[in-house]
């Protein structure tokens, strides 16, 4: 099985779906071991509907996502509003029209569905040597929990440009989404995917990015709402001196499932990567999943990379799965590491605060705020930071009620 290397016509695809039992029985078969080995296809049928036994679906409630395994019959489940950012919206892109497909290769059924279900991709384009002072806000509003939508979004920062793009998801829908990100030479791009869905929304998203020479990408996944939300970033640091910073923040309540499978591929020399995802969980059935894969390729000499995931479980019945992976294919690096921690409140921190006259409830509030604020403050957008801190306060009030 090989992946196409250029943007395909819709008929071009690899045969990605083979029965696992048949594969195991085949002579010489070696199962997929790493994220980089996953097969790719633009045809949903090549993957088939997942059963939950597949390596990339085994932590996901696949039954709750069943409506996203086929192309939407009526692609009207969400609306898009660009506000004052309309000037950065370029002509839509059909399949095969560059830069659509320059980077993106579907690696699961929902990303293939989103590709096929998007006759035209939204194209946000930052002109060369242009610095956009205000965030480019794209508001994506679900039109009802029973409504379906597929989307492919291309965000392209041309050479030596700088911008922040915010994808804000609200309302409710059944939404399969691809986001293709291209940071050209010397550009500085921040992409923030903000999930503030209603509790009955389901959302899968595949974010794939290529960062060129001396370019910097900051990528945020922030999830506070939705029934099942699965956002999987795949970032390739392709050019010499490129940098990628991947940050995540989630707060899951009872019955919510929030998931991110992160892949950071150091491909070029002297690249820098930092991955930090933090989550809080409360309530029966609250579930978060984080799988972090970092690959330092054979030509990625001089690389400096670190990934970490930290989760704070606030009540009984909540669960966080955290799986960091690191693969290094060259010995000539500056440094690399990974870490994962999941636990309850630090008793020493609580004791320290209570010993100074702070009530237990207030002490717990301060610990959670201190834990999560680290990610919020990295956004660099004061209005959004204030909004998220208020959302955290609301969540804390619910757990203390």
% pLDDT > 90, the chain: 82
Task: Give mean pLDDT, residues 197-226.
Answer: 98
Kindly list the distances between the CA atom of residue 376 and the CA atoms of 191, 257, 380, in Å, as whole numbers in the listed order: 14, 21, 8
Look over the chain and give the mean of its residue pLDDT values, rounded to a whole number.
Answer: 91
Judged by DSSP in three states, 252 sits in strand
Please say if the pLDDT value at position 24 is more than 50: no
What whole-number distance in Å separates Cα of residue 222 and Cα of residue 62? 22
Q: pLDDT-based confidence at 246, cuts 50/70/90? A: very high
Q: Is the pLDDT of residue 369 over 80?
A: yes
Q: Which pLDDT does position 19 carry in this prediction? A: 45
Contact yes or no for 243/219 (Cβ under 8 A)? no
> Tens digit of pLDDT for each residue in 135-173?
999 999 999 999 999 999 999 999 999 999 999 999 999
Least confident among 7-16, 78-87, 212-221, 235-244:
7-16
Report the range of poorest mean pLDDT among 34-48, 102-116, 215-229.
Answer: 34-48
268-310 per-position pLDDT tens digit? 999 999 999 999 999 999 999 999 999 999 999 999 999 999 9
Tell me: pLDDT of 21 over 50. Answer: no
Number of H helices, E strands in the chain: 6, 18
Q: Tell which wins on pLDDT, 356 or 164.
A: 164
pLDDT at 8 over 50: no
DSSP designation for 369: H
- pLDDT of 397: 85
Coil/strand/helix, residue 211: strand
| CA–CA dist 376, 79 (Å, integer) | 27
22 falls in which pLDDT band (50, 70, 90)?
very low
pTM over 0.85: yes
Q: Is the pLDDT of residue 28 over 70?
A: no
Q: How far apart are CA 213 and CA 230, in angstroms?
A: 30
pLDDT greater at residue 401 or residue 240: 240
User: Does the structure show a pLDDT above 90 at 20?
Assistant: no
Q: How confident is the model at residue 1 (pLDDT cuts 50, 70, 90)?
A: very low
Which pLDDT belongs to residue 32? 58
Both tokens of 32, joined, read 């997929």
Determine the Cα angle at 388 with ends 124 and 379, to 5°: 50
If you ran DSSP here, which 8-state letter would residue 63 be given?
A: G
pLDDT band at 345 (very low <50, low <70, confident <90, very high): confident
- Exposure string of 218-244, with b = 16+ CB inside 10 Å and e = fewer, is bbbbbbbbbbbbbbbbbbbbbbbbbbb
Closest of 330, 313, 334 to residue 322, by C-alpha: 313
Closest CA to 3 of 78, 155, 105: 105
Strands 78-81 and 136-142: antiparallel
């Amino acid at each position: 099985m090989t992946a196409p290397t250029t943007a395909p016509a819709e008929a071009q695809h690899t045969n990605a779906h083979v029965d696992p039992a048949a594969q195991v029985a085949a002579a010489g078969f070696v199962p997929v071991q790493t994220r980089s080995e996953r097969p790719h296809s633009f045809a949903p049928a090549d993957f088939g509907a997942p059963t939950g036994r597949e390596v990339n679906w085994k932590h996901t409630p696949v039954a709750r996502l069943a409506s996203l395994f086929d192309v939407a019959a009526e692609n009207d489940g969400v609306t898009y509003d660009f506000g004052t950012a309309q000037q950065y919206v370029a002509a839509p892109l059909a399949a095969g029209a560059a830069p659509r497909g320059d980077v993106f290769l579907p690696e699961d059924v929902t990303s293939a569905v989103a590709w096929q279900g998007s006759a035209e991709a939204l194209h946000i384009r930052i002109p060369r040597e242009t610095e956009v002072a205000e965030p480019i806000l794209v508001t994506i509003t679900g039109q009802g929990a029973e409504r379906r939508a597929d989307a492919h979004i291309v965000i392209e920062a041309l050479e030596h440009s700088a911008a922040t793009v915010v994808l804000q998801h609200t309302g409710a829908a059944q939404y399969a989404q691809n986001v293709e990100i291209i940071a050209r030479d010397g550009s500085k791009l921040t992409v923030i995917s903000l999930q503030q869905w209603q509790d009955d929304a389901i959302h899968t998203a595949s974010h794939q990015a290529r960062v060129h020479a001396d370019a910097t990408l900051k990528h945020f996944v922030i999830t506070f709402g939705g029934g099942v939300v699965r956002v999987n970033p795949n970032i390739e640091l392709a050019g010499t001196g490129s940098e990628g910073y991947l940050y995540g923040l989630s707060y899951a309540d009872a019955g919510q499932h929030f998931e991110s499978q992160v892949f950071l591929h150091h491909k070029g020399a002297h690249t820098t990567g930092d991955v930090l995802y933090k989550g809080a969980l409360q309530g029966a059935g609250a579930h978060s999943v984080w799988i972090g894969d970092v690959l330092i390729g054979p030509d990625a000499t001089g690389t400096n990379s670190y990934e970490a995931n930290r989760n704070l479980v606030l009540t009984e019945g909540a669960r966080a799965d955290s799986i960091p992976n690191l693969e290094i294919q060259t010995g000539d690096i500056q440094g690399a590491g990974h870490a994962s921690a999941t636990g309850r409140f630090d008793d020493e921190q609580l004791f320290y605060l209570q010993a100074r006259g702070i009530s237990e409830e207030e002490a717990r509030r301060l610990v959670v705020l201190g834990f999560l604020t680290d990610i919020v403050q990295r956004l660099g957008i004061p209005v959004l930071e204030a909004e998220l801190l208020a959302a955290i306060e609301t969540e804390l009030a619910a757990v203390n009620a």
